[in-house]
Amino acid sequence: MTDWSALTESPLIDVSTLAERLAEAAPPTVLDVRWRLNGPPGRRDYLIGHIPGAVFLDLDDQVCGRPGAGGRHPLPEPGRLERELRAAGVRADRSVVVYDTGTGEAAARLWWTLRWAGHPDVRVLDGGYAAWTATGRAVEPGEAVAAPGDFTVVPGQLPVLDAAGAATTAERGVLLDVRVEPRYRGETEPIDPVAGHIPGAVNLPATRLVGPDGRMLPAAELRAQFEAAGVAPGTPAGAYCGSGVTAAHTVLALTAAGYPDPALYVGSWSEWITDPDRPVATS
């Protein structure tokens, strides 16, 4: 039986705790990463209203690399990422809280990117902006300007899968395909030019990991979902989706459930299919 007593601190933070921390002498740096697949950009929503002091980062242009052979949302160039994070006020000695509209995918990808880059203390606001406003908390319009940060990006601090690593994880561990079932089965593909999944991958849609309010399920319920998919302590586990955004949310959920070192296939399906020699499964 798994000993869950040694779980690390949760990567999530709730609205009440964030509000308390914002009142401290050294509050966390708050980053708004509201984003929609295929737009419009989240900055428009940010300018209408955001958590006081939050700085906006664009997932496509500032958090991820340029689309190409590495997929639609590849790893960012470290030097460019460092400049963007410092401009947003990210400091090495201050915690960071990230949020999106409330679905969690974009915030999870920024959380993952910051942790991959070596920041030691990053939390995702559970329920995002929707949870913040639902409690009647104050918001502010316009653009917040942060004092320049000093964070130094040291890439590679979280496990990353490439295509070969994803295939190996599917063979020797558990590779979670977190897209909806019809995309996994190859019945439809609304975004990428090829339908199907990586052979051996197990389908666990990311929608099963959140409640109706967009908040992450409790840790025990997350573990039940992952155990049903075959994830077990000591078994290599990784996740992929269309382009490595939604899969980052599953990596966040694995972390919240206490699984150590879950890996993200950053390129995900959008990279896998760039090589016609890679096999495609449908079922």
| CA gap 151, 148 in Å, rounded | 10
Across the range 204-233, mean pLDDT stands at 96
| CA gap 261, 64 in Å, rounded | 21
Reduce the DSSP state of residue 211 to 3 states and report it. coil
pLDDT band at 160 (very low <50, low <70, confident <90, very high): very high
Structure tokens at 5: 């007593």
Domain 4-134 carries which CATH code?
A: 3.40.250.10
Query: How confident is the prediction for the chain on average, in pLDDT?
Result: 95
- Side-chain-side CA neighbours of 248 within 13 Å: the count stands at 28
- Residue pair 166/237 in contact by the 8 Å Cβ criterion: no
Supply the residues annotated as catalytic: 241
Query: Would you say the CATH fold of 160-272 matches that of 4-134?
Result: yes
- Residue pair 205/181 in contact by the 8 Å Cβ criterion: yes
Residue 149: C-alpha distances to residues 34, 84, 193 (Å): 21, 10, 40
- pLDDT for 86 equals 98
What are the residue ranges of helices labelled H in 139-186? 163-172, 181-185
- Residue 13's beta-bridge partner residues? 125
Listed by start position, the domains of the chain span: 4-134, 160-272
Domain 160-272 carries which CATH code?
A: 3.40.250.10
pLDDT band at 41 (very low <50, low <70, confident <90, very high): confident
Place of tokens 């090495």: 92
CB proximity list for 260: less than 8 A, separation 6 or greater? 233
- Residue pair 36/47 in contact by the 8 Å Cβ criterion: no
| CA gap 198, 54 in Å, rounded | 38
The string of pLDDT tens digits covering residues 96-125 is 999 999 999 999 999 999 999 999 999 999
